[in-house]
Structure 1
Amino acid sequence: MAALRYTRQVRLADVGPSGQARLGGLRAHVAGNDLAARVEALYLVGAGASVEVEDEGIAAAARGLNPETNVSLSPIPIPLPKTREPREGERDREREELAEGPAEVAAGARRALLKMRAAVEGT
């Protein structure tokens, strides 16, 4: 199955078999528990890299996407937010943060692609 999973990447001139082997050997730490971190982790495991994440939800999503890769939880503790009623103005800020979603996706994808490029190029 693994050989078929990465066929498209192996056929790319910029990756090839040796680049895919380096991606498979890549072990990356993904910091955070936001949307950008989730996208970064999913891009990396989709490419065959192993990741260490700080959030169980991100770990579960990554394992679900590619069970053949190693996904582990970082020993760094993450404080959980306290649950309370939103204060005045917080709902507007939440809406603004949701509007920033595409920027977070782009940021996570960029971080993942930079790590993958470094692995493929051997730097």
Structure 2
Amino acid sequence: MSFTDQEVCIVDDDASVRTAVGSLVRSLGYGARLFASAEEFLDGRCAADLVICDVQMPGIGGLELLELLRARHDPVPFIVITAFLQDVVARRATAAGASCVLGKPFQANVLIRCIERALAAPPDHTHV
């Protein structure tokens, strides 16, 4: 798969965050699909190479989405972003196999490093 064939799905109920992260992802040469909720993501499931997802959203939250994907044996790399970064959130995300856990606001270069590391790593099948 070539660099530009990789698709990143961004799931966040905050339109400004979705747009900003999508623009950043596209500027790196990746495809980006934006979803306003976990339910929308699940309904329009793309062949994601990476998911970047907020934790607190109406309906299914980001951690629940990550755990649901792992229960379905989907090892897609997953970056968790949250405005309310707490130890319990970080531990739960890490235990479920999140590649990175970032608190909002985050520096673009930190997210870029997480994206590059997640896409370069082989799928983690230990959490499926």
TM > 0.5? no
Length-normalised TM-score, structure 2: 0.33
Structure having the higher strand fraction is: 2
* Structure with bigger RCO (C-alpha 8 Å, 6+ apart): 1
TM-score of the superposed pair, with normalisation by structure 1: 0.34
The structure in which a higher percent of residues are helix is 1
